[in-house]
Amino acid sequence: MTATSHHEEHPDLRVLGLLTFLISESLMFGGFFATYLFFKGTTPVFPPQGIAVELSLPAINTAILVSSSFVIHLGDAAIKRNSVWGMRFWYFVTAIMGAMFLAGQVYEYQHLAYGLTTNIFANCFYIMTGFHGLHVFIGLLLILGVLWRSRRQGHYSATKHTGIEMAEIYWHFVDIIWIILFILLYILTQF
């Protein structure tokens, strides 16, 4: 039995493994969302007086991150047309957009008038956005890993691109979680 025939006997479960992992991460974020909504629903004034949630920079950050989901998909579409160069270009642009998002989040943190332990709202805010930021950073590392591996001739092609798809799926997950966070932490606090 050759190595190739042995491999063909077993289905490729890498994407299923990633989806299982993302479901577990969704449950963790779901716990954060439920906790936040519990405090919002049971606290008379939430966020407390004196806590201002700025909307313009997070809205720009949201536009960058959501747009990056469309950009990373262009990279996936490029490799399916067997364009390694196109995939590299769009993944590189996505990496820049992810870095811009993280830089915007750091800038926001530096200019907030409250810290992690100021009150329960601030605690929820920093934990949820910080945990999400960690996920963006991991996604950025995955994208850079795809770019690094694409240097090898023939590593990715129209028929061999699971790593590219997995990075894209993870990035879409990060975007979906951010949209929920943006609505909860920024939009709903305006009302």
User: What percentage of the chain exceeds 90 in pLDDT?
Assistant: 81
Q: How confident is the model at residue 3 (pLDDT cuts 50, 70, 90)?
A: low
Q: What's the chain's average pLDDT?
A: 93
What pTM value is reported for the model?
Answer: 0.90
Split at pLDDT 50, 70, 90, the class of 36 is very high
Structure confidence at residue 7 (pLDDT): 55
Contact 23, 171 (CB under 8 A): no
What are 102's two structure tokens? 């993280």
pLDDT per residue as tens digits for the range 68-87: 999 999 999 999 999 999 99
Identify the top-confidence range among 7-21, 44-58, 86-100. Answer: 86-100
